[in-house]
Amino acid sequence: MPYAFFLDIDGTIIDNTFVPDENRKAIEEARAAGHLVLLNTGRGLRFIPDRVWQSFTFDGVVCGAGAYASLHGKVLHSHTLAPEEAMADAAFLMSKAQPFIIEGENLVLGWGVDLRHDYWLPLSSPEELMGKYADAGVQKINLPGQVPEEVAAYLSRRYLIIQHPTYAETSILGCDKGRGMRAVMEQLPGDFVSVAIGDSLNDLEMLEAADISVAMGNSIDRVKALCSYETAPVRDAGVAVAIRAIMAGRHLTVKVLQNF
């Protein structure tokens, strides 16, 4: 049967700057065998690291925590904030001295944070989101550290907020990785089986919606408890282990996927 593999980025196919080469090989093996391999990431489209595009080839992309979905180069949907909404949010965050990163389809904008890459642009004023950055295509906002209650209350009117240990990420209300995955699956023949592989809180909806759910060995406990299978950690190319095991049918007899 054909599989559609949906892969998270951080902690799944890569670990910071470490890109397991076996993941690349396994993805190519799957595609050559007639399966599909797609990204499914919380990152906004422009926020996806260049090393991901340089290392892998995908059949489609779900990003911005489901705000954007494409298949074979065709955009299935794209949900972004209106420029006036983005401007209002930036104005509020600036008024509270809350650093933030805006992740968009076309631009990454930062205020009060280190601009780590040359394509991260400095946001000087909220009005720029109605002016020279009006085409940013805002999909989400990241905030370093723990989000104060007042900031969380404001943002929750427009976003779902996931608080991680060192930062918080938001997604547009009504968007999540599971819905993005389903939008892709609706375009595929009915015999395709969805496989989701992830490790973190923002993967829960994707993993729950998938026909086959796989937790990375480095996953948080909540992800492991949800998933039907567990694979190796990211540093041991757990994605490659899972893809090869599922293609070979080994998942039918074991819960912990391994190389043989």
Give all domains of the chain, ordered by start, each with its CATH number. Answer: 3-78+175-252 (3.40.50.1000), 83-172 (3.30.1240.10)
Q: Return the residue matching tokens 């050559």.
A: 32
Give pLDDT, residue 253: 86
pTM for the whole structure: 0.95
Whose CA is closest to 153, among 60, 89, 76? 89
Cross-strand partners of 121:
109
Give pLDDT, residue 260: 58
Mind spelling out the 3-state secondary structure of 6-43?
EECCECCCEECCECCHHHHHHHHHHHHCCCEEEEECCC
Beta strands in 41-137 (DSSP E): 60-63, 68-71, 74-78, 100-104, 108-111, 120-122
- In tens digits, the chain (260 residues) has pLDDT values of 899 999 999 999 999 889 999 999 999 999 999 999 999 999 999 999 999 999 999 999 999 999 999 999 999 999 999 999 999 999 999 999 999 999 999 999 999 999 988 899 999 999 999 999 999 999 999 999 999 999 999 999 999 999 999 999 999 999 999 999 999 999 999 999 999 999 999 999 999 999 999 999 999 999 999 999 999 999 999 999 999 999 999 898 889 898 75
CB atoms under 10 Å from CB of 56, counted, come to 20
Nearest-angstrom CA–CA distance, 152 and 84: 20
